[in-house]
Structure 1
Amino acid sequence: MSLILVTGASSGLGLATASELADRGHDVVLHARNAARLEKLDACVRMRGVVLGDLAHPDETASVAEQANEFGHFDAVVHNAGTMNGSDAIEVNVLAPYLLTASMPQPRRAIFLSSSMHHSGHPDLDPVLTGRGGSYSDSKLLVTTLALALSARHPHLLSHAVDPGWVPTRMGGPSATDDLAQGHRTQTWLATAAEDEIDPRTGGYWHHRSPRQPHPTALDPVFQEQLLDALRTRTGLALPHTGGAA
């Protein structure tokens, strides 16, 4: 069984992902923004443990990484946490996944939550560098690029981006038209399936377990490196240079 971290897992797709993985016998560490988010959350008893911190704040994200590292070397990290709040979109949706990636031993697998809205995002790195501006769509284009950049830089890492669909979670709202039950299944599959079942093995952009074509910018190796450079400059942290075991 695998040791798996799921961020933003106190509700919605994150909770569904963490719950299914735990039900399958995996050791799941559930991340929540704060302890209040866990009140009356029965799923916690099935988890290996819990880590707390608001990913909109880099110092708390660093604390989440420290707490997570106490559980050992993760087999997979599901970067599920996200927000549509424009003022926090870059920090939560892009900066936090990068900080966690740079602050933890590299897992075997990394899954990043994207969105079909990334297709309307702008490849602008100013919000990353300055901490100002950037829409939800922009953030999802950047995190998709991050997932594919990690795949290109570390071939042994199974790094993927997932569009879960427009599902009726608290974020998606009651008008969402996609199947809620399908919203988390690609993430759980990518985190645990045999490698020979996943095609492409790494560097995929997925929707309901089917590979799709991402925004062309996310596949551009020049922009991928520019994004990694911008994130390193903003955070002061570089990614590890070595990949996981073959």
Structure 2
Amino acid sequence: MARIFITGSTDGLGLMAAQLLSDQGHTVALHARNDARARDAQAALPDNAGVAVGDLSSITQTREIAGQVNDIGPFDAVIHNAGVGYYGRSRVETEDGLSDVFAVNVLAPYLLTALITPPERLVYLSSGMHHSGDTELRDAQWTRRPWQGAQAYSESKFYVTTLAFAVARRWPTTLSNAVDPGWVPTKMGGNSATDDLHLAPVTQAWLAAGDDAEALVTGRYFHHQQSRRAHPATQSPQVQDRLLKYCADLTKVELPTAVSAD
């Protein structure tokens, strides 16, 4: 059985994936934004390995989360599930002067990947909207453009998909994949979402702990356990390295070039 850490796991798809994995006999550690949400997580999944607490929109708190995870771990898999949506929201600036959509959806997964003891598997939550992302990393914080929430979200999912593939390229002994869970009626997806909510957490749980050959792959983009074509630019080493440098400059933390098979 595997040990798995899931960000953003107090409700929605993160909690659903945690419950699914726990029901399968795996050991799951959770993440909550604050102490109140941590209590909710404990109540929802009492048989957990621990709850890391901190706000992923903050670089300082994300670093602290990584430390907590390393204290609870090590883990066989990490699911980067936490995300910020865009419905009915204006641009929100974090304490670090960043767009919170970028900070939570992209920078936090980058920083946690760089700081958490590398697991055997990494899963990053993407979206079909990533196909509309900007490949040039122009104005990623939306300080020069009029805010467009849907486009900001699309770009963030393009970047996190690119991150998944960059890790797959740099860390060949780690299975790193991106998942489109579909447009489902969660708090983020909204009530008008049309995809099957019950299917939404299955693929990330499968990639984190499945033992069939189809799950033991890397550098792929999945929807409902089927490999799909990602935006071609996400596979570009130049685009990947541009994103990694940008994130390293913001956090002052570089992604290790490679991890050992040990």
For residues 69-92 of structure 1, the C-alpha deviation after alignment (integer angstroms, 9 at most, x for no partner) is 101221100000000244311000
Please report how far the alpha carbon of residue 38 of structure 1 lies from its aligned counterpart in structure 2 after TM superposition. Answer: 3.8
- Match of 1:19, SS? helix
Cα deviation, residue 229, structure 1: 1.3
Between the two proteins, what is the percent identity of the paired residues? Answer: 48
Stretches of structure 1 lacking an aligned partner (at least 5 in a row): none
Question: SS of the counterpart of 2:154?
Answer: helix
Aligned residue identity for 1:233: D
Q: Considering only aligned residues, what root-mean-square deviation do their CA atoms show, in Å? A: 1.8
State which of 216, 222, 226 in structure 2 corresponds to 1:206. Answer: 222
Whether the 8 Å CA contact 1:157–1:244 is kept in 2: the answer is: no
TM-score, normalisation: structure 1: 0.93
Change (3 A) 1:240 1:149: same
Q: 1:149 to 1:64 in 2, by over 3 A?
A: same
Preserved CA contact (<8 Å) 1:107 1:244: no
Partner of 1:117: 129
Q: Please state if 1:159 is matched with 2:176.
A: yes
Per the alignment, residue 194 of structure 2 pairs with: 177
Deviation at 1:170, TM superposition (A): 0.7
State the Cα deviation string for residues 106-140 of structure 1 (Å, max 9, x = none). Answer: 11000000000111111242445x68477011100
Whichever residue aligns with residue 100 of structure 1, its letter is L
Give the Cα separation in 2 of the matches to 1:127 and 1:56. Answer: 18
Cα displacement (A) at 1:240: 2.0
The AA in structure 1 aligned to 2:248 is R
Out of 100, 104, 110, which is 2:112 matched to?
Answer: 100
Contact 1:108 1:244 in 2 (8 A): no
Would you say the 8 A contact 2:79–2:204 is kept in 1? yes
1:47-104 deviation per Cα after TM superposition (whole angstroms, max 9, x unaligned): 1111111101111111111111101221100000000244311000000000101111
Confirm or deny that 1:228 pairs with 2:244. yes
The count of corresponding residues between Structure 1 and Structure 2 is 244
Corresponding residue number in structure 1 for 2:148: none
Contact 2:181 2:203 in 1 (8 A): yes
Which letter maps to 1:182? L
**Structure 2 length normalisation: TM-score?**
0.88
1:171 to 1:196, Cα distance in 2 relative to 1, 3 A: same
1:69 counterpart residue number? 70
The one of 176, 188, 194 aligned to 2:211: 194
Structure 2, unpaired ranges of 5+:
93-99, 146-150
Between the aligned partners of 2:187 and 2:19, the Cα distance in structure 1 is: 17
